[in-house]
Structure 1
Amino acid sequence: MVMGGYVVKNEDQGLTPARIGQILEALALDGQHYADNVYDQARYARIHKLARILGGLPEDAPLLSEITPVTPKVGVDGAVINGDAILLIQRKDTEKWALPGGAVEVGERPSRAVIREVEEETGIHMKPDNVVGVFDNWMDRRVVSHHLYHIVIRGHKIGGTIKPQPEEILAAGWFTMDQLPPADAFHPGHYERVLKALRGVIGYVD
């Protein structure tokens, strides 16, 4: 369903006011973080207050960003298979190859998150099939600003054509095992994930 240009997800239907308040609070916190002027900052701050009222939270309840203990973030990577090839993107920030993916939003199922991220970044529509594994970015042996668990979800192409998202993606394409870029051309951790996805691994956990 489309409302005012926003696509309402199926899982948004029938949500309780408390759950809607939690989702709006998370969106408002993101908005306050990324807003580049004081007017938008003020608007998101007001939405944040209204979200807490809607969710029935007392004023002294901790913000989502303040809830402790501090735990890792969760992201999804889409291992989209088309025949014997896998979909890869070349990131604009590092110029390295990787699986398409991103953060799971509050109130969003991982299966929906990976569909959204793959479509946003590449224009390809996928259907999730199974979980390749859960990967810990601390295992990449690099200094990172946050601790993140990547859920790599294998699926297959059901439609769309490749159209890289220009703000974040330099290129995207289909690669068979023999056509993969060299290991050092991949964003940290992604070469291993791609190999496991192409080899049919299911349920790996770091």
Structure 2
Amino acid sequence: MEPKWLEWAKQLQSISQAGLTYSKDVYDLERFEMIRNISIDIMAHYTELAHSTIKNLFANETGYATPKVDIRAVVFKDDKILMVREKMDGKWSLPGGWADIGQTPAEVAVKEVKEEAGFVVRAKKLLAVMDMKCHPHPPSAYHIYKIFIQCEIVGGQAEQGLETSDVQFFAESELPELSVGRNTDSQIKMAFRYIKNPETPVYFD
């Protein structure tokens, strides 16, 4: 679903990053740096962001390029889904965030719910692993996998966090305005389907 220019820019960035990491020849390093600059030029042309901003956010990593991982906790109570209002855009999302080094996906889901919503939860089941590019999110400079983990409340109470301004449960028919960079309407409805049909296989891609 992402535009071709973004796909090409990310591929060029990935090639250049690997080349700059593993190449030893000075002329090859120069060529890979040129490829990286082309990827930055593409992003700058289509987004109107400054080259320096793009380089810091998009082309600043080293090593072999791999997808980033975003983990979202799916928590239900009385047939309603737990959501938090993001301070960044004022819209709503499932509790979650980037995966942390040294923590399992389940541990990240539990941590994010506590930090963003105040509840103590237990991770129960993997629901889905999605490639963000295959779903109706806004274009992203990063290649992102999204992991959705069902959790159950075992303690705590609703409390906003450093990055959230409100915590509520919503029925499927009363969903708020979503922060679509974090989760889409189709993903939230998918979560409701899993609750209604627990034997549904894990979704991937």
Which residue of structure 2 lines up, in the alignment, with residue 148 of structure 1? 144
Change in CA separation of 1:142 and 1:107 when aligned onto 2, cut-off 3 Å? same
Change in CA separation of 1:193 and 1:159 when aligned onto 2, cut-off 3 Å? same
5+ residue gaps, structure 1, are 1-64
Which residue of structure 2 lines up, in the alignment, with residue 198 of structure 1? 192
* Contact 1:75 1:103 survives alignment (8 Å): yes
* Contact 1:91 1:169 survives alignment (8 Å): yes
- Partner of residue 163 from structure 2, selected from 155, 168, 174: 168
1:110 Cα deviation (Å)? 0.4
SS at match of 1:170: strand
CA distance in 2, matches of 1:112, 1:202: 22
- TM-score in terms of structure 2 length: 0.62
- Partner of residue 88 from structure 1, selected from 71, 79, 83: 83
1:124 Cα deviation (Å)? 0.8
CA distance in 2, matches of 1:202, 1:173: 28
* Matched pairs, number: 137
Which residue of structure 1 lines up, in the alignment, with residue 173 of structure 2? 178
* Contact 1:130 1:202 survives alignment (8 Å): no
CA distance in 1, matches of 2:201, 2:84: 22
* Contact 2:137 2:184 survives alignment (8 Å): no
Consecutive aligned runs of 4 or more in structure 1 exceeding 3 Å deviation = none
| Alignment RMSD (CA, Å) | 1.6
Identity %: 28
Which residue of structure 1 lines up, in the alignment, with residue 100 of structure 2? 105
The alignment status of 1:115 with 2:123, answered yes or no, reads no
SS at match of 1:105: coil
Change in CA separation of 1:141 and 1:100 when aligned onto 2, cut-off 3 Å? closer
5+ residue gaps, structure 2, are 1-60, 195-199
- TM-score in terms of structure 1 length: 0.62
The one-letter amino acid paired with 1:187 is S
- Partner of residue 187 from structure 1, selected from 170, 174, 179: 179
